[in-house]
Amino acid sequence: MTTIPTEPIWIDQDAELAELCERWSQQGAIAVDTEFMRSETFYPIAGLLQIGDGRGCYLIDPLAIENLEPLRDLFQNPAVTKVLHACSEDLEVFQRWLGVVPEPLFDTQIGAAFAGFGFSLGYANLIQQLLGIEIPKGETRSDWLQRPLSVPQKKYAALDVAHMLVIYGKLLQRLREQGRLDWARADSADLVANAKSTPDFNDYYRKVGSAWKLRPRELAVLRRLSAWREREARERDRPRNRLIKENGLWELARRQPTDLAQLRTLKEVPAHTQKEEGEALMAEIRLALEEPESGWPERLDPPLGKAEAPLMKALKRYVRELAEVQDLPPELLVRKREYEAIVRSGLNGGSFELPERLQGWRHELLGQGLLETAEAHRADVAPQQEPS
């Protein structure tokens, strides 16, 4: 049995990193992980980059490395697959630190789900299942910006990439045998596409809880305030809720105070927010109320109710039974909001339609069955009522 190297190798010199990146560019795959901090900031702060190449576990210091071009080139090299586990937050780190998203990418959590090891499986559990090795998690909440890092921190970080290429190889073999490798690669590619997409700040109001209760004029205010919060959080690099919480945005949109005195009557907007952001919030409300009525958002759909429950249950039952036959987690196939989108598409007599994510291989596997199930239960759905 080949011994997997787990001893951490510290890299904080540009020339040494450039030499390693050149070597890694000749490999078919490398294991990648990050450690970061973000409790006081909007963006994650890179504290450590780990790369495993089968010969060593390299800990790259983002606080010391100045020339990032070799890493950028490596992470965009189409011949080198970057293997990560549950990597959504890691991709944020790379975007902020390097300005690129690693691709092609293979997420071993996604691969494990397709291979039959369970949905949303943690890395330590995956290592245990496939290799019978226990990975300690004692440094999960460490301060990764301190220097020097402790020996336990370095050992912990190295173990996060030490076994990943072995896991990757085992998953590839199993997925090829099952005929699901393309599915795992497609879902991994979706992570990259989502990370690279440009957000529309004017859509953030849709994420505010209970926004569906607001009328178009109120939604125009909420849209403006939500976009302001997103823009300011990013520009100031502060968590959104440090500026104002969602319930404060919602109440401002509903009450629409015209001056700071009225703003002070809203208990949902804390005193420190009123003091620090009051003028800006009032300015955004005034601008929203100056918008023509023709530009107001339409009312948002209310939550699905009891009338739609039979159809929702039928769709979930169909997917659950298919998933059992395929030995796949049903959550991997269809998400909650996708069930809801299918139901909504057929309300008031419309044709049932599948969301974009249920195209491609998912459409081949279950798309037609979902549409047929929805149509068979159309009579169970009552016409949707407009919110009062």
Catalytic residue among 156, 205, 318, 339: 156
Work out the number of other CB atoms within 10 angstroms of the CB of residue 319.
23
Cα–Cα distance between 155 and 159 in angstroms, integer? 6
The whole-angstrom distance between residue 381's C-alpha and the CA centroid of its chain comes to 32
Catalytic residue among 35, 277, 308, 338: 35
Angle of CA points 180, 340, 231, to nearest 5°: 90
CB 222 within 8 A of CB 250: yes
**Residue 160 is among the residues annotated as catalytic for this protein:** yes
Catalytic residue among 103, 107, 139, 160: 160
Cα–Cα distance between 191 and 198 in angstroms, integer? 14
Work out the number of other CB atoms within 10 angstroms of the CB of residue 261.
8
**Residue 339 is among the residues annotated as catalytic for this protein:** no
Catalytic residue among 58, 61, 90, 168: 90
**Beta strands 105-107; 81-84: pairing state:** parallel
**Beta strands 45-52; 57-60: pairing state:** antiparallel
Cβ-based burial of 269 (10 A; exposed 0-12, middle 13-18, buried ≥19): buried
The continuous run of DSSP H or E covering 322 comes out as: helix 309-326
**Residue 33 is among the residues annotated as catalytic for this protein:** yes
Cα–Cα distance between 311 and 319 in angstroms, integer? 13
Residue with structure tokens 């081949």? 364
DSSP string, 147-203: SSPPHHHHHHHHHHHHTHHHHHHHHHHHHHHHT-HHHHHHHHHHHHHHHHSPP-GGG
Catalogue the active-site residues.
33, 35, 90, 156, 160
